[in-house]
Each structure stands twice: as C-alpha cells, then as structure tokens.
Amino acid sequence: MTATTQSAQEFLGLGFYTAADAARLLRMPALNIRRWLGGYAYVRDGERREIAPLWQPELPRFNGTIELTFRDLIELRFVHAFVGAGVGLKAIRNCLDYARQVVENDRPFSTSKFRTDGRTIFLESLQLLPEEAHLLDLKRHQYVFKRVIEQSFKDLDIEDSEVARWRPFKGRDSIVVDPARSFGQPIAAASGVPTQVLSESAIAEGSLERAAALFEVPLAVVRDAVKFEGELRAS
C-alpha cells in the first residue's frame, strides 16, 4: 500500500485499498479499475473522446494514485461481475446512475435495497435509454442481472441496509474482509490474523500444523487461508 498524508485514524472503518490491492482481491486487471474509476480518453475518427469515471472513490487521490474504500471495492465487485456476465458498461453506468436516485445512496449496488430490487432498478434504468433498448436482449439481461445479484450477495453480510463484510473464500465464515478490522484486508475471522501472514507462515514452516500452533488458530483456518491466498496468486 502507498503511504498517505492522512492519518491512519481516518481510514478506520472504511477499509483501504490501492488499485493493485483491489485487483488482487477481485481477480481482475488493475487497468480496468483505473479506467472505470479514473476515466480515460481515446481517439476515434480523429476526434478525442473522454469517458468519465463510473464514480469518484471515497478517498482523495494521493499523487494521482486511486485509493479505494471497502464500499468502493464491493461496488467494483458488482461491476466486474456484470461485465463478466456480458452486460455492457453503458448499461451498467445507466443503472448505477438511476440506482443512486432510487436507493438514495452514492454506493447503491452494495445496499439491501439493491439486493431486493436490483433487477427492477436495472429494467427501469433501461427505459431512460429508449433509443438503445432494442440493442439489448432484455429477457437475457433480466436473467443475467438477477443471477449476478443473487450470487454476489450470498457471501456479503448486510448491516444497517449496507454491506458490512465480505466472506471471500467460497462464502465460508473462516475468512472475512471487514473494513472495521485490519483496514479491510482479508483476515481469519475469529483471530484477526491476516490470511497472507498465515499462508506465508505455513510455507515458511513447511507445515500447516506449525503455523496453526504459532498463531493459535484452528488448523482448518490455516488450510483455508493457504488455499485462499493460493487462488489469489494463481488468478
């Protein structure tokens, strides 16, 4: 992570991620994150065109570097999932803009209302672009949007109508990403030991059992941490 001029206290409860951190956790190119949240420009037919960010991250940039909070991370996770399911960025951007109005939240994808009403919000948002609606396979996109929402919320914990935690390893309770703990880095849920530390310890010790004894955590948790970190490295 990069150093910032802001005090660590300001990040408590928000989570803190660079684009590289987010890319690692979401298993996606950091370039996509920088383009989606930083905007970009391209030239077509000799004309320069600029694409605005999908939204402005909660944290101010430091030396031009994008830095994200937990809510930014979860919103990105949804965008990444929608894109992976074949929904175009233009439709996602339109849905996001409309959802902000309906949900009355700047991070609408990570709210309980979007969990229950997301498909309806998406379809209503398409009505704002009638000239392009015929380009979409509406029946397919209804199904895709509903499936992505249902699958994505399975490993998210909601409190006070907003996503509070993410269980990133197959939805298991052993590992959690919680903005109120360790700046939102993946940790063993019960002990708070970072999964990266547990995994590296198991490798260094040459034994899952030794790592478990060293940090006084269950063997099953160390095993999950090793598998989780291994999957992140392989993606």
Render pLDDT for 4-37 as a digit per residue (tens, 0 to 9): 444 556 667 899 999 999 999 999 999 999 999 9
pTM above 0.85, yes or no: yes
Q: Is residue 131 part of a domain?
A: no
pLDDT at position 3 over 60? no
Nearest to 224 by CA among 204, 198, 185, 192: 198
Q: Is residue 115 part of a domain?
A: no
pLDDT at 224: 98
pLDDT at 39: 93
Q: Is residue 225 part of a domain?
A: yes
Q: What is the span of the domain harbouring residue 192?
A: 167-235
DSSP state of 4: -
Q: Is residue 139 part of a domain?
A: no
pLDDT at 5: 43
Q: Is residue 38 part of a domain?
A: no
**5 is written with which tokens?**
């001029």
Average pLDDT over residues 38-59: 91
**32 is written with which tokens?**
């996509």
Q: Is residue 129 part of a domain?
A: no
Q: Is residue 187 part of a domain?
A: yes
Nearest to 207 by CA among 193, 222, 196: 222
Average pLDDT over residues 142-151: 89
Contacts of 92 (CB under 8 A, 6+ apart): 54, 79, 82, 83
Domain count, the chain: 1
- Of the listed ranges 138-147, 208-217, 226-235, the one predicted with least confidence: 138-147
Q: Which residue intervals of 87-218 are DSSP H helices?
A: 89-103, 112-126, 130-133, 138-153, 195-205, 208-215
